Amino acid sequence: MDDLLREFLTETTESLAALDLELVKLEQNPNDPGILGNIFRLVHTIKGTCGFLGLPRLETLAHAAENVLGKVRDGELVVTPEAVSLVLASLDSLKAILSALEQTEAEPAGDDADLKASLNAFAEGKALPAAAPVETKAASKVEIAAAAPITAAGPVHSAPEPEPALIEAAVERLALAAEEPAVEAAAPVTSAEKPAPKDLQEAKESAVAAQSIRVNVSLLENLMTMVSELVLTRNQLLQILRSQKDSEFAAPLQRLNHITSELQEGVMKTRMQPIGNAWGKLPRLVRDLSLELNKKIDLQMHGAETELDRQVLEMIKDPLTHLVRNCADHGLEAPVERKKAGKAEVGRIALDAFHEGGHIVIQISDDGRGLPVDKIKAKALANGLASEADLATMSDQQIQQFIFKAGFSTAAQVTSVSGRGVGMDVVRTNIEKIGGTVELKSAAGKGTSFVIKIPLTLAIVSALIVECAGERFAIPQISVLELVRAQAGSETTIEWINNSPVLRLRNELLPLVSLRNLLKLGERKTDALTEAFIVVTQVGTNTFGIMVDRVFDTEEIVVKPVSPILRDVSMFSGNTILGDGSVIMILDPNGIAAATGEAASSEDTHAEAASAQAGASHERVALLVFRAGSEAPKAVPLALIARLEEVDSKTIELSDGKPVIQYRGRLMPLVGMDMSHEIKRDRRQPILVFADSQRSMGLLVDEIVDIVEDRLNIELTTGRAGYVGTAVVAGKSTDIVDTGYYLTQAFSDWFGAKGAAFGEDEQKGKRLLLVDDSPFFRNLLAPLLSAAGYAVTTAESADQALGLCEAGHDFDVIVSDIEMPGMSGFEFAEAVRKSSRWQDTPLVALSSHATPRDFDRGRKAGFTDYVAKLDRDALLQTLIQTTAHGSNAA
Amino acid sequence: MTEGKIQPKSASTVAGSLDAKDFVTMTVADQLFGIPVLTVQDVLGPQRITRIPIAPPEVAGALNLRGRIVTAIDVRRCLDLPARPENNRGMNVVVDHLGELYSLIVDSVGEVLSLPGDTLERNPSTLDPRWRVVSGGIYRLQGKLLVVLDVTRLLDFRRAEAA
C-alpha cells in the first residue's frame, strides 16, 4: 500500500474515532463551542485530506457533513439529536468506505446521494421528514455493504453480534428501514448489511491502526539523546578495553558494541524519512497547475531517497511546495512564449536532493524566464524598499534578493496559484528557522534556481580525528578521500609555490591548506616543516589536502550544533564529545574550502566566479622560473606544465639525432632551450614535461629556480623565436617562454604553424574573452594573446562566459572553442547573438575542425569568423580584422 | 550593616520590587560580581577546556558538562581585564541563556547573597563603556560594590565591540 494512503488511513481512522466521542459529548452539551469547534476542525481535516488524495466520494460526504456542522457552529442551526445522528451516520459511512479503501486501495463505487441530500437539506434548515434520515441511511448502508465485497460475501450472515454503542442508533434505523418500501430494491443485500459495519471496523482496526502508533516527537528526541550518550559511553569503554589485553570484558563489550550500534541505527531510523515523502504531493500539484495555467510542465525529481530528520521534513514541506508552485506560475512561460524564445514547449521543474558535508541540499530549478530584474526594481521602488540610488549600485543578484522581502510579488496579475505577495519571505523565514539557508540564482531567459541548504543538526556520523598544534579536530569521514603521509626525502613531499604548499599526488598537483595557518594555531616548529599528514578532502568537485600533524582513528560522533555565538565561525560544522569525554570541534570542509578560496562548489555563484575571472590579465598567475642557456631567468605558466622531472642524464638517448627519453612506457622527445643545449652527462637533468591529451614532450632546462605567483604583464615583446616576451616576475625581468614554439619543435604537427605577429599596437587594450574548456589551450593562448596586446579574460565554459555577460562585462572580441562539454560553441554563439549586451560583439570560433561545412555552420550560429585552433598567425590576423570591423560597426 | 539602606533619592535607584533577589557572587580581578541565582545552573571547579580556534577572543573554549557541550566565556576578556594569573585556573559558573549553556570563567565564586531589589543603583555615568554594557546595576555592600552581570549582554559580543 502506498505510504501516503496508509498514513491517511491511520490518521483518518483516529480522527473518526475521536469524532464519535466528540459528537456524543456534543449531544450532551449542545452549546459548548469548544466541542463543536473541535468536531468541525476534525471533519474539515478529513475533507481536506480526502480531497488532496483524490477520494471524491469521501470528500463530498465529509463536505456535506461539514456543511451541517458549519451551520451549527455559526448558530444557524441548533444541535438536535437528529442532527447528531445524521452526522454520526455519515461518519459511519465514511468508516465503511475507509475499510473498503483499505482492502482494495480504491474507493468503493457509489455516491451517497441520499445521505448527502438529507445532510444538505438539513443544512438548509429544512425540517426532515421523520422517515427521511432513516431511509437515506439505509440506502447508504446498503451501498457500503455491496461495496465491501469481502465482508458482504462471507460467513457474516450467521452470527450478527451486538453493535458498538456508537453506531447502534444507525443500525436500529436500518432495521426500521428494512420495512420501508424505498429500500426494497436493495433488499437482497440487506441481510449482510447489519454485521457489515462491525466486521469492517474490526478489519480496519487490526490491519492499519494496529501496525503503527503515534509517538510524540519529543519522546523520540529524548531517546535519541540518550542513545547518543550511550554511544559515547560505549566508545569510552572500548577505548579502555583497547588498553587492556585479555580482558574478560572483551566479549560482553563487543556484544554491547553491536547492540548499541543497532539501537542507534534503529532510533535514527525512527526519525529519518526520505525526502520523497515531502515530494509525494508535488506531481499531482504540478499536474493540476499545468492544467490550470495552460502550461506544459515536466517535473523531474532526483534524490527522493535522501533521508532527513522528520521534523526538518515537516518544516520544509510547505516552503518546497511554495517554491514549486512559484516555478510553475511565475517561472515557466506559456508554451507559445517558450517556443518564441526557442525553448522546448514543455517547461522543466527539477527537484534535486543530496547530502553534502553534513548538510542536505535541495535544489529547485526551472528553465523559465528567470526573475525580471526591471520589474523587481520598479516594485522595490514602489514599496519603498530601496531608493533609486540604492538600486543603481546594486547588482542584478542583489536586486533579485528583494523577492524574499515581505509583501513582494512581481506577478502582474494575482492568479489563484500564487502572486498574492505572501510567500517568499515566509519560505525564507521557515528555512532559516531550522538553521538552513536559501540561495537564489536566476538568469534572464534561462531560469531560476533555489538552493536550500539544511544542516543535519541531529546525526551520528563517522569522523576522522586529527591533531594539529596539540588540538584535536574531527573531519567528517564522508568528505575524506584518502590520507597521505608526506615526508622529506620520500616519494611524497610537500613543495611550495611561493607560500602555497602543494603535493604531487599521482598525476595531479594537489593544493594544500595548512590547518595550523587556517585556524591561526601559531607557528609550527621548523623541524616539523617537512613532515605532515595530509587529509585529502573533496568538496563538491574540488579536491584539496588539509595538512595536519597527526591522524588518530575514526570515531562515531554525535554532531551537536555549535553554540549560537560561534555561528559566524564558518570553519566548524559542529562539535561533539569524544569517547574520552573531551569536547572536540568538527571541521567543516565546505568552510575550509571557502576560506582557502576554493569555490565551495563548482558553479557556486556565477557572479563570484565571473568577477574573479574578470580582468584576468591582472590576476596572479603561478609561474615556474627556471634557468636554461643563460643566466637570465625564464618563466612559463605553471599550469602549462604537466610534471617536473629530474632524470639521470644517462637515460637520455638519441633518436634521429634528437634526444629522447623513455618516459612512462613511451618515448618522449626532449627539446633544449637553445639548439646548442648540451646534455651534461654527469648530472641529473631537470625536465619540464608538457603534455596534451596524448602526447608529451620534455623541455631540457639547466635549473629549476622557483615557483612564484605574480601578475603576468608582458611588458616587452620580443622577436626572438621561442619567447613570448619579457615580464617582471618576482622583481626580476624574466623571459616568458613561448611553450608553443617548443611544442612544435618536438612535434611539428602540435600546432598548425609557428611564429606569430606580435605587437600590434592598435590592438593594445582591446578586451578579449577567451572561452575554452581545455586549461591547456587557455593557458597557452592567454599569454600569447596578451602578448599581442589584448586584455585577456578567460572562461572555461560557455556558461561561465554567459555569466560574465550577465555580470555586465563587455568585450571587444570573443574567441570561443567549439567542442566544449555542456553548451557547445555553436549554442554559445546563438546565445550571445540573442543577448542584448553582446549581440554586436565579434565572435571568433576556434576549432580543430576547419572544414568549409563547419565554417558555414559557425557563420549560421553567429560567429564572425572561424579559425583553425592551432593556427596562431591566422588567429591573430583574424582578430585584428574582426576587431577593426567591430569598432567600425560600433 | 548598611547595604540594605534605601536611598532617599529615587532618581538614582532603578525601579524594582521590594522583594529581595538572590545573587551568586563571584570575583573577577578583585571586583565583586553577582548573577541572579536562578540563572545559574552549576558551579564547577577548573575544567578541561577545548580551545576553539578563530572564535571571538572572549570564547575560552568548550567543555563537557555531563554530556552537554558548554561554551566557556572568559569574563576577564569580556571586561578588557588582563588574563588570569597562571596559578589561578578559575571557576566555572554555568548559566543558561536561550536554552544554550555557557560557562563564565571567573577567578573565584563566593557565597549567595540576598539583596533587596530596590537598593539596586544605576551604573555611574563614568563607568567604562565596556563595563556599562554588561552591568545591570550596582549594589553597595559593606566595604565593596557588587556589579550585577547582565548575562545576555555579556554574551552579545557584537554589541560589546560596538560599544
Answer whether A576 touches B (CB < 8 Å). Answer: yes
Query: Treating both helix axes as pointing N-terminal to C-terminal, what angle do A33-53 and A3-28 enclose, rounded to 10 degrees?
Result: 160
**A747 pLDDT more than 80:** no
Of A754, A543, A517, A511, the closest CA to residue A638 belongs to A511
Separation of alpha carbons A756 and A759, rounded Å: 10
Residue A131 sits at the vertex; the CA angle it makes with A127 and A133, to the nearest 5 degrees, is 70
Say how far apart CA A312 and CA A274 lie, in whole Å.
11
What is the distance in angstroms between the CA of the first residue and the CA of the last residue of chain B? 36
Chain B CB contacts of A565 under 8 Å are 56, 59, 71, 155, 157
User: Is A707's pLDDT higher than 90?
Assistant: no
C-alpha cell at A546: 588539509
pLDDT at residue number A753:
34
The answer to the question of residue B7 being in a domain is no
Mean pLDDT (whole number) for A743-768 = 55
Rg (CA), chain A: 37
State the smallest CA–CA distance between residue B67 and chain A in angstroms: 7
pLDDT of A663 higher than 70: yes
- Residue A525 confidence (pLDDT) above 60: no
What is A3-211's CATH superfamily? HPT domain (1.20.120.160)
pLDDT for res A430? 74
- B contacts of A520 (beta carbons < 8 Å): 53-54
The whole-number pLDDT of residue A358 equals 62
A152 CB near a chain B CB, below 8 Å? no
| Average pLDDT score over residue span A699-720 | 72
Q: Domain range holding B142?
A: 20-162
Yes or no: say if A800 and A609 are a contact pair by the CB < 8 Å rule. Answer: yes
For chain A, percent of residues with pLDDT exceeding 90: 3
Q: For residue range A851-863, list pLDDT tens digits in order.
A: 667 777 777 788 8
Contact B155 A569 (CB under 8 A): no
Please say whether the beta carbons of A623 and A608 come within 8 A: no
In this prediction, residue B35 has a pLDDT band, given cuts at 50, 70 and 90, of: very high
Can you spell out the DSSP letters for A751-811? Answer: SS--------GGGTT-EEEEE-S-HHHHHHHHHHHHHTT-EEEEESSHHHHHHHHHTT---
Residue A570 pLDDT > 70, yes or no? yes
The distance of Cα B47 from the centroid of its chain, to the nearest Å, equals 19
pLDDT at B162 over 90: no
pLDDT at A825: 82
Residue A787 CA to residue A761 CA, distance in Å, equals 11
Within 8 A of B55 by CB-CB distance, chain A residues are 566, 569
What pLDDT, on the 0 to 100 scale, is given for residue A605? 36
Complex confidence, ipTM: 0.80
Domain-embedded: residue B137: yes
Q: What is the pLDDT of residue A715?
A: 63
> What pLDDT is recorded for position B3?
41
A691-699 mean pLDDT: 71
Give the pLDDT of residue B62: 93
Nearest chain B residue to A468, by CA: B53
Cβ–Cβ gap A521/B53 under 8 Å: yes
Whether B5 is covered by a domain: the verdict is no
User: Would you say B103 and B114 are in contact if contact means Cβ atoms under 8 Å apart?
Assistant: no
Statement: residue A689 has pLDDT above 60: yes
pLDDT band (50, 70, 90) for residue A473:
very high
Q: What would the pLDDT profile of A65-118 be if each residue is shown by its tens digit?
A: 888 888 877 777 777 777 777 888 888 888 888 888 888 877 777 777 888 888
- Position with higher pLDDT, B13 vs A295: A295
Cβ pair A475, A587 in contact under 8 A: yes
**DSSP letters along B51-68, please?**
--TTS-TTEEEEEEETTE
Alpha carbon of residue A471 to chain centroid: 33
The burial of A654, by beta-carbon neighbours within 10 Å (0-12 exposed, 13-18 middle, 19 or more buried), is given as exposed
What is the model's pLDDT at position A791? 81
Whole-angstrom distance, CA of residue A420 vs CA of residue A406: 11
**CATH level 3 topology of A217-274:** Helix Hairpins (1.10.287)
State the average pLDDT over residues A476-490. Answer: 80
Of A471, A565, A581, the CB nearest to B64: A581
Which span out of A153-162, A501-510, A614-623, A677-686 was modeled with the highest average pLDDT? A501-510
Give the distance from residue A582's alpha carbon to the nearest chain B alpha carbon, in angstroms: 6
Q: How far is B156 from chain A (nearest CA, A)?
A: 8
Question: Cβ contact (<8 Å) for B59 and A576?
Answer: no
- Which chain B residue lies closest to A233 (C-alpha atoms)? B67
In chain A, what are the domain boundaries?
3-211, 217-274, 276-455, 459-604, 753-890
Asked if pLDDT for residue A170 goes beyond 60, the answer is no
Q: Which of B44, B47, B51 to mutate to test the interface with A (most CBs of A within 10 A)?
A: B51
Confidence of residue A536 (pLDDT cuts 50, 70, 90): very high
Indicate the average pLDDT of chain A.
73
Residue B158 lies in a domain: yes
For residue A297, what are the β-bridge partners? A347
The partner residues of A768 in beta bridges, in order of sequence, read A792, A813
Q: Are A368 and A341 in contact (CB under 8 A)?
A: no
pLDDT at A432: 66
Beta-carbon separation of B53 and A584 below 8 A: no
Look at A563 and B56 and tell me if their CB atoms are within 8 Å: no
For A517, list phi and psi in degrees, rounded to 5: -70, -40
Sheet holding A480-486: strands in order across? A480-486, A532-539, A542-548, A508-514, A500-505, A494-497
Q: What is the 3-state secondary structure (H, E, C) of A94-151?
A: HHHHHHHHHHHCCCCCCCCHHHHHHHHHHHCCCCCCCHHHHHHHHHHHHHHHHHCHHH
Q: Flag whether pLDDT at B158 surpasses 60.
A: no
* C-beta atoms of B71 and A565 within 8 A: yes
Out of A94-103, A763-772, B131-140, pick the least confident. A763-772
For residue A572, the distance in angstroms to the closest alpha carbon of chain B comes to 9
Q: Which residues of A touch B49 (CB under 8 A)?
A: 583
Nearest to B62 among A229, A232, A575 (CB): A575
Asked whether residue B104 carries a pLDDT value surpassing 90, the answer given is: yes
B39-78: per-residue pLDDT in tens? 899 899 988 899 898 888 889 999 988 778 899 999 998 8
Share of chain B above pLDDT 90, in %: 29
Average pLDDT, chain B: 81
Torsion angle of the four alpha carbons A795, A799, A800, A803, in this order, in degrees rounded to the nearest 10: 130
Q: Taking 60 as the threshold, does the pLDDT of residue A315 lie above it?
A: yes
In this complex, do B71 and A585 lie within 8 Å of one another by their Cβ atoms?
A: no
pLDDT at A306 over 80: yes
Flag if A563 and B69 touch (Cβ within 8 Å).
Answer: yes
Among A266-270, A538-542, A577-581, A675-679, the least confident range: A675-679
Q: Are A27 and A87 in contact (CB under 8 A)?
A: no
CATH 2.30.30.40 holds for A459-604: yes
Residues of A in contact with B72 (CB under 8 A): none
Q: Which three cell numbers stand for residue A756?
A: 606569430
The reply to whether CATH 3.40.640.10 applies to domain A753-890 is no
pLDDT score, position A423? 66
Residue B2 located in a structural domain: no
* A876 backbone dihedrals φ, ψ, rounded to 5°: -65, -40
* pLDDT at residue A757, as a whole number: 36
| C-alpha cell read off for A16 | 473518526
When mean pLDDT is compared over A423-432, A669-678, B84-93, the highest value belongs to B84-93
Q: Which residue has the cell 605567483?
A: A709
> Residue A341, CB half-sphere, CA atoms under 13 Å: how many?
21
Look-up of cell digits 573554549: B61
In this predicted model, what pLDDT tens digit does every residue of A35-47 receive, in sequence order? 888 888 888 888 7
Tell me, yes or no, if A221 comes closer than 8 A to chain B by beta carbon: no
Cα of A216 to nearest chain B Cα, Å: 21
Among B50, B53, B157, the residue with its CB nearest the CB of A584 is B50
CA torsion A484-A485-A490-A495 (nearest 10°) is 80
Burial code of A520-549, b = ≥16 C-beta within 10 A, e = fewer?
Answer: ebeebeeeeeeebbbbbbbbbebbbbbbbb
Q: What is the pLDDT of residues A602-623, one digit of tens each?
A: 333 333 333 333 333 344 667 7
pLDDT tens-place string over residues A182-199: 333 333 433 334 444 444
Helices A131-147 and A81-104, packing angle to 10 deg: 10
What is the spatial distance between Cα A27 and Cα A439, in angstroms, rounded to a whole number? 54
Cα(B146)–Cα(B35) distance, integer angstroms: 10
Identity at B21, one-letter amino acid code? K
Beta-strand relationship, A658-663 and A666-672: antiparallel
Architecture of domain A276-455: 2-Layer Sandwich (3.30)
Give the chain A residue nearest B154 (alpha carbons): A565
The answer to whether residue B115 sits within a structural domain is yes
Domain containing residue B105: CATH number? 2.40.50.180
What is the rounded CA–CA span in Å between residue A333 and residue A331? 7
Segment holding A724, helix H or strand E: strand A723-729
Mean pLDDT of A578-598: 79
Secondary element (H or E) of residue A621 = strand A620-627
Residue A460 contacts residue A505 (beta carbons within 8 Å): no
pLDDT of residue A108: 79
**pLDDT at residue B27, rounded to an integer:** 93
Asked whether the beta carbons of A584 and B51 are under 8 A apart, the reply is no
pLDDT tier for residue A200 given thresholds of 50, 70 and 90: very low
Instruction: Report the number of distinct structural domains present in chain B.
Output: 1
Encode pLDDT of A4-55 as tens digits. 777 788 888 878 877 877 777 777 777 777 888 888 888 888 877 777 777 8
Question: What is residue B106's predicted lDDT score, i.e. its pLDDT?
Answer: 93
Contact (Cβ atoms closer than 8 angstroms) between residue A814 and residue A889: no
Rounded (10°) angle between helices A775-787 and A739-746: 120
Interface residue A694 vs chain B (CB under 8 A)? no
